[in-house]
Amino acid sequence: MLPVDRPPLEHGALLIGADGRIVAAGPDEAIPRPAGVPAEDFGDAFLLPGLINSHTHLELTGMGGEPPSADFAGWIRRLREAKAARGADDFLAAARRGLADCWAAGVTTVADTGDSGAAIQALAEARGSGIAYQEVFGPHPDQCEESLRGLQQRVEALSGFAGGRVRIGVSPHAPYTVSGPLYRATAEWASATDLPLAVHLAESPAESALLATGEGSFAEAWRGRGIPAPDPLGATPVEWLGRHGVLTPRTLCIHVVQATGADIARLAEHDCAVAHCPLSNRAHGHGEAPLAHLLDAGIRVGVGTDSVVSVGELDLLADTRAARTLASLAPARALALCTLDGARALGLDGEIGSLAPGKWADCVAIRMAEGTSSPEEMVLASDPRDVLATFVGGRDVYRNSRPQ
């Protein structure tokens, strides 16, 4: 058993209460076995906290289209065109499949962004765990009032799906799709209503060029649509969002690849969290995020997969391995990124992320491979085919029927 918040136990066990929370966790011989409570032994396997995916787009599951390319602005445009051809039923079916894929990969909590509302419905009907951030768009300042009103109406309509372990948040999408006034208005409304906020930030060189000089592929697209350049120019993406009141402890900053030392200090000052998506960043050619510097600054960092459109498969441990290599992390430190640190990034570390009494019994059993590596090293080397079972709140949500 790998509790994450303390060293591994060779013969570990959990006692799960009827409320779905952990009653006891520790050496097998020290854990009570109440009469009438079913028991299960996974043998030569690892038992660890359910993985936490800090950034998904479940509504995009199953979407084909062009693979990531150097023309990020063009790729975004084509993705939005492909989404426009989908209907509500398509998005909901995709989100349901995406959630099932997450469970099959050992992921028990997701931080999802999307504009269809499908993810929060899929989470609610499956009694899942996660935050669904409702996206809002509007690059022209004149769209601010209309876009904010539409967001508020959409959140109100979807709020019936929130409750239990499912939360709703808001996501002013990115600096190349949201104006300064809309960022400020959304951040102020989120603060007033205590909603968590997520934003794609400092992802690509084209985004940085738009805000620094008003040039580049996103700037050209704006000019073609009659959208004025960001005002004022000359800021980094992190600095620009700071000017509009977006950086707060409730803010999850997704990607953060194009970040300077001053940017990192600013994120730390405002206690922002970061969702690090190394395989997506690599696929799009955005570069490598300054992960080691983010961690050294004490910033709360979790790992995310991004969407299947970018990475092909929602394999969070593959992203965690990439993060480990990027920042030269010890195995236990890397594993924390997709468990307890991911929970901290989402403000949920009091509820999930480690196997501790009182927390939700979110856990995953992973087949133990032969070898002499450390338990953390062996878990990190596994993939979704090695996941034996996944539990959300003690509830069995996935069993591996694939042959060894």
Question: What per-residue confidence (pLDDT) applies to 271?
Answer: 98
Burial pattern 20-52, b for ≥16 Cβ within 10 A else e, equals bbbbebbeeeeeeeeeeeeeeeeeebbbbbbbb
Structural domains in the chain?
Answer: 12-49+354-399 (2.30.40.10), 51-345 (3.20.20.140)
pLDDT tens column, 169-194: 999 999 999 999 999 999 999 999 99
Angle between helices 144-158 and 180-193 in degrees, nearest 10: 30
- For the chain, the distance separating the N- and C-terminal CA atoms, rounded to the nearest angstrom, is 21
Question: What per-residue confidence (pLDDT) applies to 370?
Answer: 78
Question: What per-residue confidence (pLDDT) applies to 172?
Answer: 98
Question: What per-residue confidence (pLDDT) applies to 166?
Answer: 98
Residues of the chain with pLDDT under 70: 64-66, 402-404
Question: What per-residue confidence (pLDDT) applies to 65?
Answer: 63
Give me the residue label for tokens 């010890």. Answer: 330
Per-residue tokens: 189? 């409304």
Question: What per-residue confidence (pLDDT) applies to 402?
Answer: 65
Q: Which amino acid is at 292?
A: A
Query: Residue 199: what are its φ and ψ, rounded to 5°?
Result: -150, 135
Question: What per-residue confidence (pLDDT) applies to 114?
Answer: 97
Question: What per-residue confidence (pLDDT) applies to 66?
Answer: 66
